[in-house]
Amino acid sequence: MIRKFREFSRGVSIELKVVVGIVLFALLMGGMDRYQLSHNLINQFLEAKKSKNLLLINTIAPILGLNVSLGLNDANREYLDYIAKENSDVTFIELKNGQNEIVYQYGDDESEIQSKSSYETQTEYVDFCDEEIVDPLSNALIGSIHIHFSDKDFIKLKSDNRLLTFKLALVAIVLLIVFVRIIQREFRHLKELSESVLAYDPKRNDFSLGTSHRHDEVGVIQNAIVSMVDKISLYTSMLDETNLSLEGKIKERTKELWEANERLKALSVTDELTGLSNRRYFEEYFHKTWELAKRQGASVSFVICDIDYFKKVNDACGHPVGDEVLKYVATALRTSLKRNTDFVARYGGEEFVIVMYEASLDDATSLCRRVQENLKKGPNVACDGVTLDPVTMSFGINSAVPGKEEDSQSVIKKADDALYKAKRSGRNRIIGY
């Protein structure tokens, strides 16, 4: 068999051998180059999409956890609606609470039938993302988020890649046909080419791999190699630009999510007018403080205070002046606090509350007196040229150690009873229950 092949080889012209060899070489190199390029392009696309999807779910999970822990279910729904609107590749979102009950759902679950086999083994988190939601304070599991992503971009990428491969193959075939014709016509110049190669002097470096203007075999091969290098360089540049664009979009989206989260956190805990904590945050803070005191056996003092004759100020001067009075009182309360553990919040209307951890009734009374002194330092309320009485407040105090017979709501009620007694006693009073 080998002998017959050698005899056959001797009967084949050198021209045909060269043509067949070059054609096979060109097809092999072009196919390998195209295969590697397609493989790298698809892998980079999948990695970029996976990173984007992971970044999205890892960014929204803490926000959802915070909202759930604060009871802001409406905020979660608005936030997830915004996420779905801003991410066109999101087809399905499902949010479940700690009891595995669905509390939010966007889209339908038809994307479950999508086959992961088209993504091979590299596509974890590319079309399906799951993340557990934990309470940022207790680290307890309070829910889960499940997101489906569309595979339209990936399908389009594969379709475009196949089309490009077909076009390149068609161009390559045309070029090879032309190349073979040139070889058949110009093979007589092989001797001249050989002489040129033999005349090459490495010392003088009189042979370069730049673009050749010759029309013989060496020139065609040389130009094909240079063209191949240029194509690889072009495709690499295109991939780098795509990666930079994706990174820029991811950074921009991350910044938007962070800014939205900061605004949400500020709005959820702050009273817009006075800058103090709002009632919702007070209830959460007081509950945690009460539970901590129960575990530590510490005392908790609670103060509820009310601006005296505030309705008269509003009626006589209007709500703008009343708002200024509220801001002034909030400043007096804030500056009167001396300990980091003391907490003040606007309870509603003209009422404010103070929570003091490990503080006695005397400590709370001293704080209320400082507030009275700070109120005296401020300007009197005036409108339409008429000066009203100075701003004063009435205070109701209750101090207790959490136990089986004392709960947080009873402490608040007793302090409120003391406030009522202070107002009936002539206002500008401090009454302890």
pLDDT, tens digit, 9 for 90 and up, residues 218-262: 566 656 655 654 565 566 567 777 878 877 777 777 777 666 565
Strand, helix or coil at 39? helix
CA–CA dist 408, 198 (Å, integer)? 101
pLDDT greater than 60 at residue 140: yes
The set of long-range contacts for 239-246, using a CB threshold of 8 Å and a minimum separation of 24, is: 239/40, 239/41, 239/44, 242/44, 242/48, 243/44, 243/48, 246/48, 246/52
Q: For the chain, how long is the longest CA-to-CA vector? A: 126
CA–CA dist 78, 85 (Å, integer)? 10
Q: Domain segments of the chain: what residues?
A: 1-268, 279-432
- The CATH class given to the 279-432 domain equals alpha beta
DSSP-derived pairing of the beta strands 343-348 and 382-383: unpaired
Question: What pTM was estimated for this model as a whole?
Answer: 0.43
pLDDT greater than 90 at residue 419: yes
12-16, 278-282, 311-315, range with greatest mean pLDDT: 278-282
DSSP state of 132: E
pLDDT at 200: 44
Average pLDDT over residues 361-381: 89
> Helix count (H) and strand count (E) of the chain?
11, 11
CA–CA dist 203, 229 (Å, integer)? 26
67-71, 95-99, 215-219, 334-338, range with greatest mean pLDDT: 334-338
pLDDT, tens digit, 9 for 90 and up, residues 74-109: 777 888 888 878 887 788 888 887 777 787 888 776
